[in-house]
Structure 1
Amino acid sequence: MKAKTKIFGIIAFINLVLFLVAYNIRPIKVNYDAKEVQLKFTVPPNFPQPGSQYDQHFVTPAGFKLGRILFYDRALSIDNSISCASCHQSFSAFSDQNKHVSQGFKQCSGTRNTPALFNLAWQKEFMWDGRVKLFQLSSHNAIINPCEIANSMAGAVEKLRANGHYTDLFRNAYGSVDIDSARLLNALTQFMSMLVSANSRYDKYRRYEQGGVFTTDEKNGYILFRQKCSACHKEPLFTDLSYRNTGLDLVSIDRGRDSSTHLATDVGKFRVPSLRNIEVTAPYMHDGRFATLEDVLTHYANGVKRNTHLDEQLRHNGTLGLALSSSDQHKIIAFLKTLTDKEFLTDVRFQIP
């Protein structure tokens, strides 16, 4: 009896594996006939204006719809196995939840953690090292990267031209049936530019809106956050858009910003990520080395290495890191969880059409 039970268990496990493999390689079923959504890019009242390179008026309902479909359509890849949404999942603020590093075409593992996608209109540069300077080129990198979507722009365009659904979609968005790489990237940018996250409990607290109530721990955590963390994670975006070395290693394994600037002083520096929705975007750091927020704060309290290019914010009179007691860390984490924007995470406009 035990042997039979064991065999059945093995068979069930094999079936589960086969199901998961089939799930990951099947063409995703997007609704090409989804209704257009009337929407307009608006700057939240507690936010600054977007960067100068961003045009607030270029998003159209037809362009957004096209970008949304493209974002979820695995047809962009060579073998219909992967889409943008495969690594950027809406329920985790368009990050790749529980994956240390990005995992793309044929399970190829990248070298860096998949960044969350929101409030992109306020970014000046893209990727962990800032090597992509234009918003519309951020998708280009993913499409042609052999470890991500693993196609070429010409190959992606050819596949869209062969898919009859896209003829009307491109005509409606751009006034003609021409399908090219510029329009492909523009449509994706229209979709991603609308991924604005600004309705967390923190935002409601700051705007004195209903639902913006903090507990005592959250209030104290907010005070501590402003004292200890806000130099780099500046409100309201919760990033100052800079690149910093946070002492993860004594000698930086990943060259970081230096791979873009080729400056020795930039070795081991990475973009300061936004802390918005941080509760749902684990694991953390550019290589996903920390599984929990507790791990992150333990690093800043006790684990900072004396890297040659360590950021000055983590050097104080010969002492490394931040003075954070266990109680301080608990309160800061309580505050950080108020940055979770549940309305953004469940917004039907951003789900698979």
Structure 2
Amino acid sequence: MRLSHALHLLCFLILTGPSRADPITMDDFLSVDPAQARLGQLLFYDPILSGNRNISCGTCHHHSLASGDGLSLGIGEGGRGLGRDRTPGTGPEAIRKRIPRNAPALWNLGHKSVRVLFHDGRLEISDQYGNGFDSPAEEWLPQGLNSILAAQALFPLTAQFEMAGNVGENDVTGAVHDRIDLGWPIIAKRVRTIPEYGALFVGAYDHIDTPAEVTIVEIGNALGAFMASEWISIDSPYDAWQRDGTPLPGNAERGRQLFFGKAQCSTCHSGPLFTDQEFHALGLPAFGPGRTRAFDPMPRDVGRMGETNLIEDAYRFRTPSLRNVALTAPYGHNGAFASLDGIVRHHLDPGASADAWQVAEAALPDVPWLAEGDFLIRQDSREMARQARALDVRPLPLSDAEVAELVAFLHALTGQSVTARPLGRPDRVPSGLPID
């Protein structure tokens, strides 16, 4: 009987969530050099890093949009403006494709536990290639990148529709087309030959004596330092509850108990960041250009399978962190749901939710020349059936009141100081280019 009671108590503690004795703290985050973070802030908002000098990291991960862009699928290189007001450009500069996936928020990615990034996990901490990471660059990723965030920062620069531009438009994308790493030296030279940047690099790095020594590694490390320190958010009502027992509002407290109990949310959304960093199939409504491959040109997104080539990974995507989730709509790897209520209900009954979903729910800026293909994949009944079968969640009945309580708890994960960032958006960048 005593063993049975102990097991019951253990299950209760697991289901009702982590102990208040284990709050997240600043010690759990990477330590960064302030001078490198300030340099990274400028680089993050400087279009000089893009092939055609017309888009920055900050365009799709903006301070005014809680480190995202507010769109289901972004408008990348060639577009103009921010968020819902972003337009697809005109003439030769007009975009040729939407970004295939939702721009993920950057909150707390400097946490030491982060080991895998991107929706399909194509960047992981690993010794496989001798440079610290398993990445799309494989053995060509340079040595010396000091965090997974530093490594991550380099890949949008090589992506045609994100930042690099179309082949024939600039020397960066032309080099990347030959091999993924060949564009980085071109970008590094652009940056270090700007006198203000050259001086900042010499001041920020002990091993850099002259601007000529700056490589893409120092650029990546500066961007990583900025992202790691800029987006820390650990002062939510939930954190106060966990630290010192400050009660959550009644509906949020009931939602917390559901989250860690009956609703089973913490099965995947576990740990201090509310993510197991694993991959799960949720059967989200499909749309957009898909993340196509040379041998698979269909406008679909097979998720993790695109990285591993394992059929069991088909349509699985990385579990996102839920910290500040109330600020980072739309939700899902393709931004299919505009509200927390919608994405919560989808988890509870994916089949019914997908059947009821309407294309108007997708936050897609109007692009007339792409409109015909935006929802083309939904006409492929066999592909839709394959995606519907690949589910890692099963229907779980909850009342409307319980759904509202779960949503209230998710709001309780919003930090109190989310708008008071350490550095924020700069007023200008050393290249002199306009910033978003």
TM-score interval, normalised by the smaller of the two chains: 0.7 to 0.9
**Counterparts of 2:285 and 2:197 in 1: how far apart (Å)?**
48
Task: Pick the aligned partner of 2:404 from 326, 330, 352.
Answer: 330
| Residues 1:127 and 2:127 aligned together | no
Task: Pick the aligned partner of 1:265 from 306, 309, 312.
Answer: 312
Alignment of structure 1 residues 202-351 onto 2, 5 Å? 202-208=238-244, 212-227=246-261, 228=263, 229-248=265-284, 253-304=300-351, 307-311=388-392, 314=393, 320-351=394-425
Partner residue in 1 for 2:187: 156
| Residues 1:105 and 2:77 aligned together | yes
**Counterparts of 1:342 and 1:78 in 2: how far apart (Å)?**
37
Deviation at 1:249, TM superposition (A): 5.4
**Counterparts of 1:250 and 1:154 in 2: how far apart (Å)?**
37
Q: Which secondary structure does the structure 2 equivalent of 1:222 belong to? A: helix
**Counterparts of 1:169 and 1:250 in 2: how far apart (Å)?**
45
Residues 201-236 of structure 1 show CA distances to partners (whole Å, capped at 9, x for unaligned) of 111121127xx4421111111111112111111142
1:250–1:307: 8 Å Cα contact kept in structure 2?
no
Residues 150-184 of structure 1 show CA distances to partners (whole Å, capped at 9, x for unaligned) of 14312321221231111111101113222211111
Task: Pick the aligned partner of 1:87 from 51, 56, 60.
Answer: 60
Partner residue in 1 for 2:152: 138
Letter in 2 for 1:289: A
Partner residue in 1 for 2:380: none
Alignment of structure 1 residues 50-61 onto 2, 5 Å? 56-57=30-31, 59-61=32-34
Q: Which secondary structure does the structure 2 equivalent of 1:290 belong to? A: coil
Letter in 1 for 2:189: E
Letter in 2 for 1:102: G
1:250–1:143: structure 2 CA closer, same or farther, 3 Å change rule? closer
Question: TM-score, with normalisation over the residues of structure 1?
Answer: 0.77
Letter in 2 for 1:115: P
Q: Which secondary structure does the structure 1 equivalent of 2:199 belong to? A: helix
**Counterparts of 1:153 and 1:342 in 2: how far apart (Å)?**
38
1:266–1:309: 8 Å Cα contact kept in structure 2?
no
**Counterparts of 1:85 and 1:213 in 2: how far apart (Å)?**
36
Q: Which moved more, 1:275-284 or 1:251-260?
A: 251-260
1:71–1:129: structure 2 CA closer, same or farther, 3 Å change rule? same
1:208–1:351: structure 2 CA closer, same or farther, 3 Å change rule? farther
**Counterparts of 2:205 and 2:22 in 1: how far apart (Å)?**
31
Deviation at 1:48, TM superposition (A): 8.3
Identity %: 32
Structure with more relative contact order (C-alpha pairs < 8 Å, separation 6 or more): 2
**Counterparts of 2:62 and 2:115 in 1: how far apart (Å)?**
23
**Counterparts of 1:202 and 1:301 in 2: how far apart (Å)?**
23
CA RMSD of aligned residues (A): 2.5
Partner residue in 1 for 2:139: none
**Counterparts of 1:145 and 1:250 in 2: how far apart (Å)?**
22
**Counterparts of 1:73 and 1:95 in 2: how far apart (Å)?**
17
**Counterparts of 1:192 and 1:199 in 2: how far apart (Å)?**
18
Deviation at 1:244, TM superposition (A): 0.3
Deviation at 1:185, TM superposition (A): 0.7
Gaps of 5+ in 1: 1-43, 315-319
1:250–1:324: structure 2 CA closer, same or farther, 3 Å change rule? farther
**Counterparts of 2:161 and 2:346 in 1: how far apart (Å)?**
30
1:282–1:291: 8 Å Cα contact kept in structure 2?
yes
Q: Which secondary structure does the structure 1 equivalent of 2:260 belong to? A: helix
Deviation at 1:188, TM superposition (A): 0.8
**Counterparts of 1:289 and 1:329 in 2: how far apart (Å)?**
19
Q: Which secondary structure does the structure 1 equivalent of 2:117 belong to? A: coil
1:73–1:83: 8 Å Cα contact kept in structure 2?
yes
2:24–2:239: 8 Å Cα contact kept in structure 1?
no
| Residues 1:66 and 2:39 aligned together | yes
1:225–1:266: structure 2 CA closer, same or farther, 3 Å change rule? same
**Counterparts of 2:23 and 2:101 in 1: how far apart (Å)?**
31
1:257–1:267: 8 Å Cα contact kept in structure 2?
yes
Letter in 1 for 2:101: R
Task: Pick the aligned partner of 1:199 from 227, 231, 235.
Answer: 235
1:126–1:132: 8 Å Cα contact kept in structure 2?
yes
**Counterparts of 2:416 and 2:185 in 1: how far apart (Å)?**
38
Q: Which moved more, 1:244-253 or 1:117-126?
A: 244-253
**Counterparts of 2:322 and 2:66 in 1: how far apart (Å)?**
11
Gaps of 5+ in 2: 1-20, 80-94, 125-132, 134-147, 165-171, 173-182, 291-299, 355-386, 428-436
**Counterparts of 1:322 and 1:349 in 2: how far apart (Å)?**
43
**Counterparts of 2:234 and 2:286 in 1: how far apart (Å)?**
37
2:275–2:321: 8 Å Cα contact kept in structure 1?
yes
Letter in 2 for 1:124: R
Task: Pick the aligned partner of 2:103 from 101, 106, 114.
Answer: 114
1:167–1:116: structure 2 CA closer, same or farther, 3 Å change rule? same
Partner residue in 1 for 2:221: 186
Letter in 1 for 2:48: A
**Counterparts of 1:250 and 1:155 in 2: how far apart (Å)?**
37
Q: Which secondary structure does the structure 2 equivalent of 1:204 belong to? A: helix
